[in-house]
Amino acid sequence: MWPRRKSTKSFATGRAWVEINLENLRHNVTVLKGMLPSECQLMPAVKANAYGLGAVRLCKELNRLGIRAFCVATALEGAELRKGGVKGEILILGYTHPKQLDLVKRYRLMQTVVDYQYAQTLRNYGKRLTVHLAIDTGMGRLGESAHNLESILEVFTYNNLNVEGIFTHLSAQSKDYTHTQVALFSELLNGLEGRGVGALKAHLQSSYGILHCPGLNYAYARVGIALYGAANHDELKPVLSIKARVSVVKTVAAGQAIGYGLGFIAPKDMKIAVISIGYGDGLPRALSCGVGMVLIHGARASILGYVCMDQTIVDVSSINRVYQGDTAVILGKSGALEMSAESIAKQLQTVPNEILSRLGTRLTRVYTH
C-alpha cells in the first residue's frame, strides 16, 4: 500500500507540460466579441479537451467571463464538462449512438440532428431532447441538405424534439464558396420562416467565419482555434505554450550515432541535450531529423534523429550553459524567439488544430493568470 497523503497533487512542471495563459484567453474573448455583432454570443468549441488546453478548467474560466454556451464533439465530452461543474448550454456537434442518448438527457446536453434519418432515431427514442439541426450547405459532412426544406420542416413536428437551433459549417475555402454556403443557409432560414418556423437560434461561423465574415448576424459563433490564439490574426494572442525539462546534457564525438535507427550521426564533436517529451505526448514524430526545433535559453536547438515516444534529442552545441533540469520550449516564447503552432503546422503540412488537439494526457496543464 502506498502511504495515504492528504494531497496527491505533485509538482506540475517536473517533466513536460502545457502552460495556459488565461490572460491571453481573456484578451482573445474580448477581441473576438468585438469583431462580432453584439447580439452574437461566443459558443467556444471545447472538443478534444479544448484543443489540448483542458476542457473543464477552460470552460469554468469562460463561465466566469460570462460565456454561457459551448460545443463538444461527443456526449462523453459533454458529460465530463457537467461533472466538472460547467454551466450553460452544451451542444454535441457529432452523432450520438442511441444507446448513449440517456447521457444527453442526464447531463442536460443538446444533441445535433446530423441528418433526416437520425431525426427518426431521435424521434423513436421517445424521451424529450433539445436539439439543433445540422444543415449541409456544401461542407459535405454532417447535416441534412439545405435543399430538403420539406424533410427539415417535418422534424419540427416531432413531439419529443425541442428544436432550439439550426446550424451549418463552412468549408473554410474561398470567398466565393463561403458566399454560396452563406446564401444557401440564409435561403433555407427564409424558407422555414415562410412556413411559420422562426425564432430559431441559427449559427454558421467557426474561427474561419468570424475572421473572414465577422459581420454576419447569428445567435452564436462556434469559435475554437482563434480563441486559443493559433489562427493567423495579429490581434489574437497564443494561449498555449508547451515546455519540457532537459534530462541529460552531454558531448558526443564525431561519428557517434544518436537515437533509434542511427537517425543521426554526429558529423563533428557536438553537445546534445535530451528533453523529456516525445510523440507519446503529442510532439509530432514528423519533426524528427532536423525538421523541427525547440528553444532553449532564447536559442534554437534542432531535433537530432528520431523523436522517441517519451524523449527527444536536440543539438545544443552553440548554446552556452544548458544544464540538466533546464526548460526547453517546444511551443511558445523563449527570450526573443517564439515558436507558434501555425509555423509548426505549416512545416508539417497540417493545421494547428491537429497539433493542439493531439497533446497527450501525460502533459500536465498549468494555468497562469
Ligand X SMILES: *Cc1c(COP(=O)(O)O)cnc(C)c1O
Q: Tell me if 207 contacts ligand X by CB under 6 A.
A: yes
**CB closer to ligand X out of 236 and 313:** 236
DSSP-assigned letters across all residues of 84-110? TT--SEEEE-S---GGGHHHHHHTT-E
Cβ 134 vs Cβ 167: under 8 Å: yes
Distance CA 112, CA 152 (A): 13
CB of 197 to ligand X, least distance (A): 22
3-state secondary structure (DSSP) of residue 349 = coil
Q: Is 367 designated active site?
A: no
One character per residue 292-311, x = contact with ligand X (rule: CB under 6 A):
--------------------
**Which of 225, 244, 275, 294 contacts ligand X by CB under 6 A?**
225
CB of 236 to ligand X, least distance (A): 12
Q: Tell me if 21 contacts ligand X by CB under 6 A.
A: no
**CB closer to ligand X out of 28 and 334:** 28
Q: Tell me if 166 contacts ligand X by CB under 6 A.
A: no
CB of 238 to ligand X, least distance (A): 14
Q: Tell me if 74 contacts ligand X by CB under 6 A.
A: no
Which residue of this chain has its Cβ atom nearest to ligand X in the complex?
A: 224
**Burial class of 221 by CB neighbour count within 10 A (0 to 12, 13 to 18, 19+):** buried
R_g of the chain, CA atoms, integer Å: 24
- Residue with the three cell numbers 474580448: 30
Distance CA 72, CA 74 (A): 6
Residues 6+ apart with CB under 8 A from 178: 170, 171, 172, 209, 212, 213
Given the residues 33, 47, 201, 243, the one annotated as active site: 47
Q: Tell me if 67 contacts ligand X by CB under 6 A.
A: no
Q: Within a 10 A sphere around the Cβ of 301, how many other Cβ atoms?
A: 27
Q: Tell me if 222 contacts ligand X by CB under 6 A.
A: yes
Q: What amino acid occupies position 205?
A: Q
Residues in contact with ligand X, counted by CB under 6 A, come to a total of 13
Region binding ligand X by CB under 6 A among candidate stretches 193-201, 216-224, 232-240, 269-277:
216-224
**Which of 15, 132, 169, 201 contacts ligand X by CB under 6 A?**
169
Distance CA 204, CA 185 (A): 8
Q: Is 260 designated active site?
A: yes
Given the residues 83, 127, 250, 260, the one annotated as active site: 260
Cβ 154 vs Cβ 188: under 8 Å: no
**CB closer to ligand X out of 45 and 258:** 45
Triad 220, 226, 230: Cα angle to 5°: 165
**Which of 75, 86, 92, 93 contacts ligand X by CB under 6 A?**
93
Cβ 242 vs Cβ 331: under 8 Å: yes
Residues near ligand X, by CB under 6 A? 45, 47, 93, 169, 206-208, 222-226, 353
Active site residues: 47, 260
